[in-house]
Structure 1
Amino acid sequence: MTPSRAPEPHPDVKVFLERYNSLDAPSFDEVSAREARQLFDDLGLGGEPTIDLESVTDRRIDGPDGDLPVRIYEPGTAGEDRPLVLYFHGGGWVIGGVDTHDGTCRKLAAESGYPVVSVDYRLAPEHPFPAGLEDCYAALEWAADAASELAADPDRIVLAGDSAGGNLAAATALLARDRGGPAVAYQLLIYPVTGTANETESYRENDEGYFLTADEMAWFREHYFGREIDEGNVYAMPRLANDLAALPPATIMTAGFDPLRDDGAAYADRLEAAGVPVTYRNYDDMIHGFFGMISEPVDLDRAHAAYDEAVDDLRRALE
């Protein structure tokens, strides 16, 4: 894939960037993990919930280290044996949670008609790799067992996520293949971290000024990896795996003004070369995080269009 960026960001994105860059607040890499989480929560990019569903339920399931919180979004669609979306939130493995991505999961459930389960996996640095990944895999095992309870088909589970969540979705799919675990029908990877993003052109040309910075990316990685050796682990960076054959089909979305743009494109290339069906979409005038900007204070038409295209891809593959 040869992704590019537009001559300049979309006008609505430029307005957001001007406001964001004018904030009298430190960047994530200048504060502690706890302070960064509060900063991210305070941004409120997802806005207040604007999409009503039949039910939104918080519950706890068995995780590898005790109870694992999940949030279940039921759209109230008729019939049984629907596909099920397991969603892993972004935030560099350090920040974010089910609350920060509530709007994203509501919209995915409403637009697709599929139940969505958002996973509140453990965060670094308190719980470095592979804790969060093991939580995501445990959630996949639970989803396969609980599918009938959710009126869903255990053979049509979608692993989805944005940024670090996209990394966890890709890694969970790889782990499921290698462990002979539950079947995964599809991957929806939104500007995912998949490998050595800091060696790409997009990492250099978008290193600052476009919301996510290269310094913040380095800060996230330093917190995620408790040991240097883990940085080369294929379940931390799936693009480093020698063999990507027999993985589920995927939609991969990237943004032109995102340091991770070329990383996602490179993973699409690797999957395609391994014989995995891939739909690659690059939103050349968007920035990292745009997929969540679907309600006030930041509501992007291009983000809504991305959901439409993602849902179309899921329906073509699963129905």
Structure 2
Amino acid sequence: MAEYAKYSEISPQWEKFVSENPLLGDLDRVDIVERRRIFEQVEAAIPLRQIPEDVKRAPVAVQTFTIEARDGYDIPVRTYVPTSGSGTLISRPLLVYLHAGGFLFGDLDSGHLNCQILASRLNISVLNVGYRLAPKWPFPYGLNDSYDATKWAAANAESHLRASATAGFFVGGISSGANFAGVIAYTARDAGLSPPITGLFLSVPVCIMPDAYPQVRPEIRDQLLSLEQNAINPMLTAKSLGDIQGVYGAPPNDPRVSFLLNENHSNLPQRVYFQVCGGDPLRDEAFVWQKLLEKHSGTKSKIHMYSGLPHGFWRFLSMKASQEWLDDLVEGIRYLCLSSEKVGDSEVIVKGL
């Protein structure tokens, strides 16, 4: 969107980081697997994110098991339940967490630390979902696993997660996981899922596939500037988005992947937390959807905008913005937990300057 185009200007933090790690300077010439190898090589030279001391002092009970998908597949899941109040039902909110990985990578360990910190600091229960991945399991297997896990969480919040979905029922994720969360919002609405989802968290979400851009209404298409503006930005380029689109195997025009194409945006969750990167080709998709939610569902949003930073920058902890990212996530999920009377107008908080 034109009003956010200024946030494409490269952050001094990222400029300095790339100058120290030239492997990140030109990723548009390599395939998806090689890009991932380069990310991991650069990341390996940087200290890993550690469990904060406050989380160590307030541990959560972690359990890994499987739940049955609609086709009989055993979906790996991991629960995180705060240990306070043992022996009595705790009316704490529930979060279904869907990891990142471009529909192709990731597992329960990908989001393990995030889930542990969210459960501990916010006194919420978390269900981490190890959905199936392409290309072995192309569209819609991962999406179906994620929705099946969401339905399971709604039915088993008290017995398995010591939570109450009526106290707060959130679904969210990062990148491809955020795509699933957006699709699930519509699927749950149309299916009459009970209890209903009350909040979403979408970090750098994929809201529409590149080949589906011509299908959106002209007034919306004119707002989607970032795919072209940030086409060759590092971490996620327009080319790599096209590559992912091909491997994932979803028809680009299917609303189960390009959820911006849904015609009805009403009766969706009343609270959304977004993380958006100014240098991300996906930036404007998130803002377009946020405005549709506000217009048609009355949804209030909290948005952390990382100016001049690319998709998924936070994996590289040597930058100040990366060090703050997880605290921002905690703040955002806390926003989903607020009672209605404590929520003001939607706001954009600019970070990464």
Q: TM-score, normalised by structure 2?
A: 0.78
Alignment of 1:37-116 (within 5 A): 43=43, 47=48, 49-51=50-52, 52=56, 53-65=59-71, 66-78=73-85, 80-116=90-126
Does the alignment pair 1:168 with 2:168? Answer: no
Q: Structure 2 CA distance, aligned partners of 1:307 and 1:153?
A: 22
Does the alignment pair 1:130 with 2:140? Answer: yes
Label 1:176 to 1:165 Cα distance change in 2 as closer, same or farther (>3 A): same
Does the alignment pair 1:213 with 2:237? Answer: yes
* Structure 1 stretches lacking a partner, 5+ long: none
SS at match of 1:254: strand
Q: Structure 1 CA distance, aligned partners of 2:22 and 2:84?
A: 41
1:189 to 185, 202, 208: 202
2:257 to 236, 247, 250: 236
Q: Structure 1 CA distance, aligned partners of 2:312 and 2:32?
A: 20
CA contact (8 A) 1:272 1:278 kept: yes
Identity, % of aligned pairs? 27
SS at match of 1:133: helix
Kindly state the Cα deviation for residue 210 of structure 1 after the two structures are TM-superposed. 2.6
2:162 to 140, 151, 162: 151
SS at match of 1:257: coil
Give the aligned residue type for 1:184: I
* Structure 2 stretches lacking a partner, 5+ long: 214-223, 343-353
Q: Structure 2 CA distance, aligned partners of 1:164 and 1:28?
A: 22
Label 1:28 to 1:142 Cα distance change in 2 as closer, same or farther (>3 A): farther
Give the aligned residue type for 2:69: G
The farther-off stretch of 157-166 and 98-107 is 98-107
CA contact (8 A) 2:171 2:181 kept: yes
Q: Structure 2 CA distance, aligned partners of 1:205 and 1:139?
A: 36
Q: Which is greater in Rg?
A: 2
Label 1:181 to 1:275 Cα distance change in 2 as closer, same or farther (>3 A): closer
Q: Structure 1 CA distance, aligned partners of 2:283 and 2:143?
A: 22
Instruction: Quote the residue 2:310 is aligned against.
Output: 287
Kindly state the Cα deviation for residue 206 of structure 1 after the two structures are TM-superposed. 1.6
Does the alignment pair 1:204 with 2:204? Answer: no
Q: Structure 1 CA distance, aligned partners of 2:118 and 2:320?
A: 18
Instruction: Quote the residue 1:313 is aligned against.
Output: 335
Cα RMSD (Å)? 3.0
Q: Structure 2 CA distance, aligned partners of 1:28 and 1:106?
A: 37
Instruction: Quote the residue 1:261 is aligned against.
Output: 283
Give the aligned residue type for 1:190: S
SS at match of 1:242: coil
CA contact (8 A) 1:70 1:119 kept: yes
Q: Structure 2 CA distance, aligned partners of 1:170 and 1:300?
A: 25
CA contact (8 A) 1:268 1:280 kept: no
SS at match of 1:107: helix
SS at match of 2:338: helix
CA contact (8 A) 1:252 1:278 kept: no
Counting matched residue pairs gives 313
Which one has the bigger strand percentage? 1
Q: Structure 2 CA distance, aligned partners of 1:84 and 1:119?
A: 13
Q: Structure 2 CA distance, aligned partners of 1:28 and 1:116?
A: 38
Q: Structure 2 CA distance, aligned partners of 1:36 and 1:70?
A: 27
Instruction: Quote the residue 2:349 is aligned against.
Output: none
CA contact (8 A) 1:56 1:74 kept: yes
Label 1:145 to 1:214 Cα distance change in 2 as closer, same or farther (>3 A): same
Give the aligned residue type for 2:285: D
Label 1:99 to 1:47 Cα distance change in 2 as closer, same or farther (>3 A): farther
Q: TM-score, normalised by structure 1?
A: 0.86
Kindly state the Cα deviation for residue 222 of structure 1 after the two structures are TM-superposed. 0.7
Label 1:254 to 1:31 Cα distance change in 2 as closer, same or farther (>3 A): closer
Label 1:296 to 1:82 Cα distance change in 2 as closer, same or farther (>3 A): farther
Label 1:41 to 1:110 Cα distance change in 2 as closer, same or farther (>3 A): farther
Give the aligned residue type for 2:51: T
Give the aligned residue type for 1:225: G
Kindly state the Cα deviation for residue 24 of structure 1 after the two structures are TM-superposed. 10
Label 1:25 to 1:306 Cα distance change in 2 as closer, same or farther (>3 A): same
CA contact (8 A) 2:233 2:280 kept: no
Kindly state the Cα deviation for residue 57 of structure 1 after the two structures are TM-superposed. 2.1
Give the aligned residue type for 2:63: T
CA contact (8 A) 2:25 2:234 kept: no
CA contact (8 A) 1:252 1:279 kept: yes
Kindly state the Cα deviation for residue 173 of structure 1 after the two structures are TM-superposed. 1.3
Label 1:40 to 1:145 Cα distance change in 2 as closer, same or farther (>3 A): farther
1:283-316 deviations in whole A, cap 9, x for unaligned? 22332114555x5798724414522430331222
